[in-house]
Chains A and B, each alone.
Chain A
Amino acid sequence: MGLHHDDDGNGIARRLSLHLGANGLERGGVGVNTKARTRLLIATGVIVAVFVVGVVYVVSREGAYYRQVAELAGGEYVGKNVKVGGRVLGDTLVRDDSGFVFDIQDLTGQADTVKVEYDGQVPDTFGPGADVVVLGTYSESGAGGLITASQVQTKCPSKYEGAGTTPTATPAP
């Protein structure tokens, strides 16, 4: 397609010179247009401002804290949205009509675990030993921490690096 540039160029350049000619004449009586320009700037400013405020508001209301399992203990995140990566402990996984309950273990080498309740759908790569990212609300009771999840994703069996045989955990600090 690169071969046609030159011909295009001639065609468009010729017809643009027509526009340029017309412009030259119209440029004379400007003046009035500063008002239109000001309006344009004000309209743009208002739209951008509304949009920025809206996005920041939505994000600050809906955003979840991305944390490690080990960082949850301590009460700081009770009642907050959290997104936590962990490995599903196979012997804790229970599934029934109302959904899943399972524990996930920290991926940074700590022994901490947290319980997850989830009544939605999981990808087919989900199962004992799967690395998952859980999004949900964190709460604490006598029995320890609980995430009531609204979303559970398995880490993508990456098409790029060794197809799911190597766990792609975040490196230990």
Chain B
Amino acid sequence: MLLLGRLALSLALVLAVAAAVFLAYGMKTSRRDFIRNGYYATYGFALAAVIASIVLLHAFLGTDLGFAYVFENSDPSLSTFYRIAGFWAGQEGSFLLWLLMLAVVAVMIAAADLARLRRLVAGAVMVLAVNVALFAALMVLDEGSNPFLATPAGAGSPIGLNPLLLHPAMVLHPPALFAGYVGFAVPFAFAISALLLGRADREWVVGARRWAVGGWLMLSLGIGLGAWWAYVVLAFGGYWAWDPVESGSLVPWLTGTALLHSMTLYARRGIFKRWALGLAAATFWLTLVATWTTRTGVIQSVHAFGQRPLLVWFLTGVIVGVAALSAALIAWRWRRFESDREFESLASREFIYHLMNLTFTMFALAIGFSSVLVPLLFQRTVGPATYDLFAQPLGVATLALIALCPLFAWRRTDGMALRRSLVLPLAVAALCVPLWLFLGFQSNAWGFVGFFVCGFSLGAVLQFVLVSARRGVGGRPWTAGLRRALLGSRTRTAGYIAHLGMVLVVAGLLGSAVYEAETSSIIPATPGAVVEAGDYTLMFTGMRSESGAQGSLRAYAAFDVFSAGGDRVGSVEPHTDIYPTGMSAVRAVILGRPFEDVFVVTDQGFNEQSEELAVRVVVFPLIRWVWIGSILLCVGAAVSLWPRGQRQEQEARDVAAAREDGRLERATA
């Protein structure tokens, strides 16, 4: 089976190279037969990637310890769910999963184009094939990246999955991130193809947009799951630590967000073309950099892995190559990708979008600079407090831009109209003030400003809905106008949901980061011992233990929680899992209150014999809003991706909407 896996990888490499060559020639010469054969080769390498993946999956399901990779990442006691997760628990399998996803995406794009054999699409599939070839080559050449190696003789007993990773969120987090990265490979592929062909029309954006939205959705999901896992499992009392590896996934998310908006503007209005090209290249490039920081151990991180020279040089070469190629192509076609429209005024929606792109890009640059360049060039490192210093104002600034955007008109904005449309958002922001005061947010001036902006943004979303509802009425009942405003255009509906999600996320981040309150104390393990934590009092009531998952012993310490008024608001049982291997993991428990979470964890593992407990209590205001908001962001993306039921009808509506937009523009001009 090892041999079959290795053969399949080599076959994928050969066929991917063949596909790239055929497609490149077909694209250059417009020879449709070459493009068709290139597509067939694409089917071939995808099939090879599927075979290799099935071989590895089969080995994991049967826990075939002859595979060194299975030996290191699984053991027979695991449930089927976690056996499957072993597939991507290590680097070798992660690369294979990535290769598989890339290949499947390439095939889907090729299959959809098999009847038309367009040069632009052929170019995009070619870029993806090169990508697949590079991955396959790395896996074939680098021992540490090949999942099909035999276990060395006398290796002992299997190592198994790390207990900390035995959590559903951690099983889904890596594939979600990879899917996100693969999704962003598509806009890059189409952008390179459009640049090579000099096609400054909309076709490449149309071909790539849904993949970009899908990639963004998966990346958001992956980051959200990782943060949630860190919050509930890692028990360090937070969800984000600005580790270079974490930042690595956030940076392409930021540029990817700007990319989505730029692509929409490109497709709808023929503007922001260079932004779209640059961001497509940058986002893909940043996913590579994220891989590079994660996999090469170049950057000192708590995730650091062993260094392997071949891998380092390979990835470094690819990163430099992609950057040089993209920059050269964009420079070459710079003039051709000029906007279809002139920029008219700073008081325009275009300018707000421009600011938003700038903010996201600079945010990404700042994080990249601090986490990659500073350690590499200056041998220095910056801590979480430094990131927060620029992340918090930038987060609030982004929210302000989201809020302002719909209040401005395209091209130029009439001052009177702007003042009128500011009324509702300002009113909502003012109405929210008592709530913020009630929650005690006046203790930090900067945080309070942030919350004011959150209220303003909420008002702006409402204002936007109302305006488009009123516009749609024209004699019909107002409910019809409202329905049209909320559901009339899928993109717009997605926008409402995602922006509402963003307001919640930023409010939740502000609340939980700026106003978190933490206390830790050591108490004797005798019932009746008390922990004072801000407004809460925890009383220890006793310990118990039971056998847990994977042969572990789980010890619980029970506490009753009392609020400031002395009411018992609940009970919590933080616990420790002690594994047969001797490893132990403390597990936090979280008591949800209407506006905050009470997070309780012991700082050290314990069992029923322990004489004292190190208890840490962290109060996180509004943290739930982060999770709810993240879900809304993903729902927003999903709405815009949902396949259209009655396509004809939708198209007609789109055309009507475009006409109406045009009319409105002339009216506001």
- Contacts of B659 on A, CB cut-off 8 Å? 15, 18
**Segment of B146-154, B379-387, B464-472 engaged in the interface with chain A:** B379-387
- Contacts of A124 on B, CB cut-off 8 Å? 235, 576, 584-586, 603-605
Q: How far is the CA of A39 from the CA of B162 in the complex (A)?
A: 56
Q: Which of A44, A162, A164 contacts B583 (CB 8 A)?
A: A164
Q: How far is the CA of A82 from the CA of B644 in the complex (A)?
A: 56
> Can you list the 6 inter-chain pairs with the closest CB atoms, starting with the nearest?
A2-B108, A15-B658, A163-B162, A124-B586, A62-B386, A63-B380
Report yes or no: A51 in contact with B362, Cβ–Cβ below 8 A. yes
Q: Quick check: is A70 within 8 A (CB to CB) of the other chain?
A: no
Listed A/B pairs (24) with beta-carbon separation below 8 Å = A1-B108, A1-B211, A2-B108, A3-B111, A5-B207, A7-B651, A15-B657, A15-B658, A16-B202, A23-B270, A40-B351, A51-B366, A58-B390, A59-B386, A63-B386, A95-B522, A121-B236, A121-B603, A124-B603, A153-B302, A157-B164, A158-B303, A161-B306, A163-B159
- Contacts of A76 on B, CB cut-off 8 Å? none
Q: How far is the CA of A44 from the CA of B386 in the complex (A)?
A: 24
Indicate whether A65 sits within 8 Å of B304 (C-beta atoms), given known contacts A1-B214, A2-B112, A51-B362: no
Q: How far is the CA of A27 from the CA of B269 in the complex (A)?
A: 14
Q: How far is the CA of A13 from the CA of B86 in the complex (A)?
A: 45
Report yes or no: A19 in contact with B236, Cβ–Cβ below 8 A. no
- Nearest-neighbour CB distance to chain B for A123, whole angstroms, equals 5
Report yes or no: A13 in contact with B603, Cβ–Cβ below 8 A. no
- Contacts of B580 on A, CB cut-off 8 Å? none
The residue on A at minimum CB distance from B121 is: A5
Q: Quick check: is A97 within 8 A (CB to CB) of the other chain?
A: yes
Report yes or no: B341 in contact with A26, Cβ–Cβ below 8 A. yes
Q: Which of B105, B207, B302, B643 contacts A156 (CB 8 A)?
A: B302
The residue on B at minimum CB distance from A37 is: B343
CB contacts under 8 Å to A, within B556-577, are 576
- 0/1 string, B75-102, CB within 8 A of A gives 1: 0000000000000011100100000000
Report yes or no: B374 in contact with A40, Cβ–Cβ below 8 A. no
CB contacts under 8 Å to A, within B601-630, are 603-605, 614, 616
CB-based A-B contact count at 8 angstroms: 227
Report yes or no: A4 in contact with B644, Cβ–Cβ below 8 A. yes
Report yes or no: A133 in contact with B302, Cβ–Cβ below 8 A. yes
Indicate whether A44 sits within 8 Å of B210 (C-beta atoms), given known contacts A13-B202, A83-B381: no
Q: How far is the CA of A152 from the CA of B112 in the complex (A)?
A: 52
The residue on B at minimum CB distance from A8 is: B206
Q: How far is the CA of A27 from the CA of B343 in the complex (A)?
A: 11
Q: Quick check: is A43 within 8 A (CB to CB) of the other chain?
A: yes
- Contacts of B202 on A, CB cut-off 8 Å? 12-13, 16
Q: Quick check: is B662 within 8 A (CB to CB) of the other chain?
A: yes
- 0/1 string, B192-204, CB within 8 A of A gives 1: 0000000000110
Report yes or no: A161 in contact with B305, Cβ–Cβ below 8 A. yes
Report yes or no: B383 in contact with A36, Cβ–Cβ below 8 A. no
Report yes or no: B378 in contact with A96, Cβ–Cβ below 8 A. no
- 0/1 string, A24-37, CB within 8 A of B gives 1: 00110010010011
Report yes or no: B343 in contact with A18, Cβ–Cβ below 8 A. no
Q: How far is the CA of A14 from the CA of B206 in the complex (A)?
A: 12
Report yes or no: A22 in contact with B302, Cβ–Cβ below 8 A. no
Indicate whether A160 sits within 8 Å of B644 (C-beta atoms), given known contacts A66-B375, A123-B234: no
CB contacts under 8 Å to B, within A92-150, are 95-97, 121-124, 127, 133, 135, 150
- Contacts of A151 on B, CB cut-off 8 Å? 383-384
Q: Quick check: is B293 within 8 A (CB to CB) of the other chain?
A: no
The residue on B at minimum CB distance from A61 is: B386
- Contacts of A51 on B, CB cut-off 8 Å? 362, 366
Q: Quick check: is B4 within 8 A (CB to CB) of the other chain?
A: no
- Contacts of A55 on B, CB cut-off 8 Å? 366, 369-370, 390
- Contacts of B108 on A, CB cut-off 8 Å? 1-3
Q: Quick check: is B476 within 8 A (CB to CB) of the other chain?
A: no
Q: Quick check: is B435 within 8 A (CB to CB) of the other chain?
A: no
- Nearest-neighbour CB distance to chain A for B608, whole angstroms, equals 18
Report yes or no: A58 in contact with B112, Cβ–Cβ below 8 A. no
